[in-house]
Amino acid sequence: MKPLILSTTVFLAALAVTAASLSAMGAARPEQAYRHYIDALFRADPDQALSVIVGRPDQIGFIRTFITCLAASNDFRQKYTAAYGQNEWEKFGRDEPEAGVPAFNLPDKIPLSTYRSLLKRQPVPSGREYVVFQENGTMRIVQRDGQWYLQAGSLGFTGRASQYEILTAVLREYQTRIGAPGETPSGLRVAMKQALRRTGQW
């Protein structure tokens, strides 16, 4: 457990240094802001995403934390499936009663088909704003000083930043164990699920 605590502490310290995101630059047109954001989400690039988002500091901080976690999950998944195969990866999303651990669905990369479908959507005018209708609500695109931005509160992000900070630290810690001598996919998977439960966040 000590390595996990150490890596979590190091990660949180680094997060504090980068918490102040780059200033949002916006886009010349609403559709450019929307596509820029969707592309950033697909690539799991928090800086690119936040360059076209405005909102309260806590909203901006949470979005950075979530997308950073998504990037860490993508990296973990890629290395895990390369070492052990897709079938072993899918076992994260299943209960493992013999080991006493429940299913855990890690944040996952947006499928290419979904990404392409999202890019085809067009912002439509709504008063002084533009909106994009989504399955989980309406995304708002607003103008500030001649540039267009997505409104953070309309993007549908939920949860607590602390959850995703901890999950990112755990993902990075256990990624270093993938493929190590004597490490098995089931052993690593069970240990990781147990570590997440011990944090009290998941």
Gap between the Cα atoms of 146 and 139, Å rounded: 19
Residue ranges of the chain whose pLDDT lies below 70 = 1-23
pLDDT in tens, 11-39: 443 443 343 344 689 999 999 999 999 99
For helices 30-43 and 112-120, what crossing angle results, to 10°?
170
CB-side exposure of 75: number of CA atoms within 13 Å?
17
Positive or negative, the Cα torsion across 23, 24, 28, 32? positive
pLDDT at 136: 79
Q: Is 159 left (phi over 0), alpha (psi -120 to 50) or beta?
A: left
**Model pTM?**
0.84
pLDDT at 44: 96
Beta strands in 31-178 (DSSP E): 53-54, 124-126, 129-134, 137-144, 147-151
Domain boundaries, the chain: 2-88+109-180
Gap between the Cα atoms of 30 and 52, Å rounded: 10
Q: In this structure, which amino acid lies at residue 31?
A: E
